Amino acid sequence: MILSKSGFVFALLVCVVMLFSCSSKKKKPAVSFYYWRIEFSLKENEKATLKENQVSAIYLRCFDIVFDEKLKRAVPHAIVRFRDADLIVQIVPVIFIKNQVFLELDSNSIDTLAEHTFSLLEQINQSQHISAKELQIDCDWTQKSSNNYFHFLRLLKQKLGAKSNSFAAAKLSATIRLHQIKYAGLQGIPPVDKGVLMFYNMGKINGSPVNSVYDRKLSQSYLSALNKYPLPLDFALPVFAWGIHLRKGQVIELLNKMDSRDFADKNDFVSSTKHRFAVKQSVFKNGFYFKEGDEIKVEEIESQDFESMADDLTEHYKRPVERLIFYDLDSINISRYEKNIFKKVTADF
């Protein structure tokens, strides 16, 4: 078929529009995971999840930093141990730091802390032959601690910019909470290359009907300032669950790694409402003792919750998102969802 001149021009315009549309289409974020166990050893279904989702990076908690009341100084805690020598993806070291550290230390002590922190990170990286492209600091800082915390971050950034065997040209990122987005004028902006919005742990752990891990209504009240936040952001989303053990309405303990499946035995538990169970008879379960009459409130994230998260985040944040980081990589967490859940979530962004 021979096109007329006008037909040819029209066809050419259609092709140009299609090419422009494809090139301008926003790139979907990559799937990543936090790894928060003390011992690094990947189970087979965890490795399969990494492969199926083409995961290029694990955000590995390397150690915590806490304030020792007796020594009156900051000390490392729960340093990661490596049992799995096959590091099949890029490792991003993460350090969790208690806010108390920056409330207690003076500026000179912060200098020393930065030096010791970086030295320990280098030791860990070199022992496992890790060449990191990013370092992430996780701290829920406050207005009172911001000066010390930001000074610590600047010192780390200087060290990343200097010659380093295991952090060559690495970027520095920091976790950001919803209240730090909404009240950025008071809380300050951390001096880092990028932030990660922790889109979970939004409420109080109690016996109310509200899910403390993710409460859509509460989260929406914080998101109006999201697009104005000056740092580029990735998003961290929850895939964990826990139970809250209640006795006469009071919180007894937090039941980590437990979800609704653990209370399906109708001989011992009865479902009173969705995600709520009453103890029919006193029983031990997963090492916990439940007394007759106790209650368990299960807080878990369902597939439709991810759709709500994506709707709200994309509505209020128009810039590209490089990664969705799911908390956390664990065989129990993975088994709660359909196989392609992580690809589905990223498709919504």
pLDDT in tens, 57-91: 999 999 999 999 999 999 999 999 999 777 889 99
Return the pLDDT at 26. Answer: 73
The pLDDT tens digits along the chain (349 residues) read 455 555 544 444 444 444 444 444 678 999 999 999 999 999 999 999 999 999 999 999 999 999 999 999 999 999 999 997 778 899 999 999 999 999 999 989 999 999 999 999 999 999 999 999 999 999 999 999 999 999 999 999 999 988 777 898 899 999 999 999 999 999 999 999 999 999 999 999 999 999 999 999 999 999 999 999 999 999 999 999 999 999 999 999 999 999 999 999 999 999 988 899 999 999 999 999 999 999 999 999 999 999 999 999 999 999 999 999 999 999 999 999 998 999 999 999 9
Same domain, 36 and 69: yes
Note whether residue 170 is domain-resident: yes
| Domain ranges, residue 271 | 242-299
What does the alpha-carbon distance between residue 64 and residue 162 come to, in Å, rounded to a whole number?
Answer: 24
Q: Which two tokens stand for residue 287?
A: 């090492």
Write down the pTM of the prediction: 0.91
The DSSP result for 84-135, as a single string, is -----SEEEEEEEE-HHHHHH--HHHHHHHHHHHHHHHHHHHHHTT---SEE
Phi and psi torsions of 195, nearest 5°: -120, 165
Look at the chain and report how many structural domains it folds into: 2
Return the pLDDT at 4. Answer: 55
Same domain, 227 and 90: yes
Same domain, 43 and 162: yes
Same domain, 154 and 95: yes
Pairing of strands 194-198, 171-176: parallel
Nearest 10 degrees: Cα torsion 264, 267, 272, 273: 10
User: At 301, is the secondary structure helix, strand, or coil?
Assistant: coil
Note whether residue 135 is domain-resident: yes
Return the pLDDT at 211. Answer: 97
Go through 49-58 and write b for each residue having 16 or more CB atoms within 10 A of its CB, e for each that does not. bbeebebebb
Return the pLDDT at 16. Answer: 40
Which residues share a beta bridge with 143?
none
* Residue that is written with structure tokens 């021009």 in the block: 9
Note whether residue 287 is domain-resident: yes
